[in-house]
Each structure stands twice: as structure tokens, then as C-alpha cells.
Amino acid sequence: MSSTASVNMPESEMIVTNLEYYPGMAIEKHLSLVQGSSVRAKHAGRDFMASLKSIFGGELAGYTELLHESREEALDRMIQQAQSVGANAVLNVRFSTSSIASGAAEIFVYGTAVLLQEEL
């Protein structure tokens, strides 16, 4: 289903987790706080369907997908930032969503970029 996501991108071997540590691996270095964000607006076609749906109720699949896409984008940006500081993992990741205007939402994701090393 399009509204579910696995976060680890194949091209980047970045570990993304919202736990604070990784059993079996030691944190060698805390690098920095990394973040990614994405602002999206709804588009007219989806909005029309949504206004129809609002009479009957139920899931608005168009919006689910829209928010999913922007979340992927925010995560992508965060991972890029983590790569640029030389991290191999982002720990303690959190999401936050805020609607900044009617019809537009900001998705924000942040975490701690670290260098993990196998425990000896």
C-alpha cells in the first residue's frame, strides 16, 4: 500500500531508527542534529474528490498519498544531510507536522546523526 513506507533507501546505507541506540553497535561519535522538511499544498483535483468525500466520510486516499510523499522527501533530505556530515546512522528520529496555511502542511523530521561502530 502506498501509505506505508520503509525508510532505509537502497542507495544509502544509512540506518534510520527512532530508538536511542543500536544494540550490538557502539556510538563512536555524535556528529550533529540533522533535519529535513517539506512543505506541500493540496491540489485542486484531490481537493474536489475530498470535498465529495466529506459528505460521505471515510478515507481520503489522495491526501494520505500526498502526505506520504512529502514525508519521504523530508526523510530524503535528512538522510542527505546526515551523509554530508559523514554519519552512517540517524538515531532518535522524530516527526512533526504543522499546518502553516489552509491547504498547506509542513512535514518536519529530525534526528541525531552518529557514527556507529561494531562493538568488539
Partner 1 sequence: MIEYALFAVLLVLGFGFGQLNEQRHYKSIKKREQEMSVLPAVASKHPPTDTQYQQQMVIGSVVVASDYFKSFLANLVNVFGGRIRSYEPLLDRGRREAILRLKQEASKQGASMVFNVKYETSRIGGGVTTIEVMAYGTALIPAQNSVVHA
User: With binding defined as CB under 8 A, does residue 95 bind partner 1?
Assistant: yes
User: How many other C-beta atoms lie within 10 A of the C-beta of residue 111?
Assistant: 25
Under rule CB under 8 A, residue 102 binds partner 1: yes
11, 23, 45, 120: which one contacts partner 1 (CB under 8 A)? 23
Q: Which residues lie below 8 Å from residue 45, measured CB to CB, with a gap of 6+?
A: 62
Residue 18 interacting with partner 1 (CB under 8 A): yes
Residue 27 lies near partner 1 (rule: CB under 8 A): no
Helical packing angle, 61-84 and 44-56, nearest 10°? 130
Range in contact with partner 1 (rule: CB under 8 A) among 17-25, 32-40, 79-87? 17-25
Rounded Cα distance, 2 and 52, in Å:
22
Q: What is the DSSP letter of 114?
A: E
> Can you give the binding site for partner 1, defined by CB under 8 A?
1, 3-8, 15-20, 22-24, 47, 50-51, 53-61, 63-64, 67-68, 71, 93-99, 102-103, 105, 118
